[in-house]
Amino acid sequence: ARDWDTRFAIAESFVAARLAEAKRMSAEIAWAYRQVIGSGGRTRVSVLADELGWSRKHLAAKFSDAIGIGPKTLSRIVRFNRALSLSKHQLDDWAGIAADCGYADQAHLVREFRDLAGETPTALA
């Protein structure tokens, strides 16, 4: 897909299909998924694991089996999507967008954009 709105729609459809296919997604995984989405990708995997009484590794394995990607990857995608959406309204305020989306700093946001999209934030905006 050429534009990011289409790419995110495809990703959301994939995750929704995985959720629908899951014969019996555990309540714990459903809860963890809702926490990641509801927090805008800002919830730490270690916090989710602690809340569930699981190890991070166990949570990541169960989450990946049910959803198709790990909780950290989902968090990165959710934050990236939010940052890209905010960039349409806060033109060139990358430091502010980074802070709003939970990135450590603007450099962290730039690294995530390069990792996930292969481009800098400015090139995508």
Write down the pLDDT at residue 19.
66
Same domain, 60 and 85: no
Q: What is the pTM of this model?
A: 0.81
Query: Both 60 and 15 in a single domain?
Result: yes
The sign of the CA dihedral 17, 42, 39, 1 is: negative
- Residue 63 has a pLDDT of 95
Q: Is the dihedral of CA 46, 48, 51, 52 positive or negative?
A: negative
Tally of domains in the chain: 2
94: CATH: 1.10.10
pLDDT recorded at residue 77 = 93
- Please report the pLDDT score of residue 92 as a whole number: 80
Cβ–Cβ under 8 Å, residues 68 and 104: no
In the chain, which residue ranges form alpha helices assigned H by DSSP? Answer: 4-21, 27-38, 45-52, 56-67, 71-87, 94-101, 106-117, 121-124
Q: Say whether both 61 and 97 belong to one domain.
A: no
Domain residues for the domain of 61 are 4-71
Q: What is the pLDDT along the chain (125 residues), one digit of tens a residue?
A: 567 778 777 777 777 776 666 556 899 999 999 999 999 999 999 999 999 999 999 999 999 998 889 999 999 999 999 999 998 888 789 999 999 999 999 999 999 999 999 999 988 87
Whole-angstrom distance between the N-terminal and C-terminal Cα of the chain? 16
Q: How far apart are CA 39 and CA 20, in angstroms?
A: 22
**What would the two tokens of residue 81 be?**
């999507």
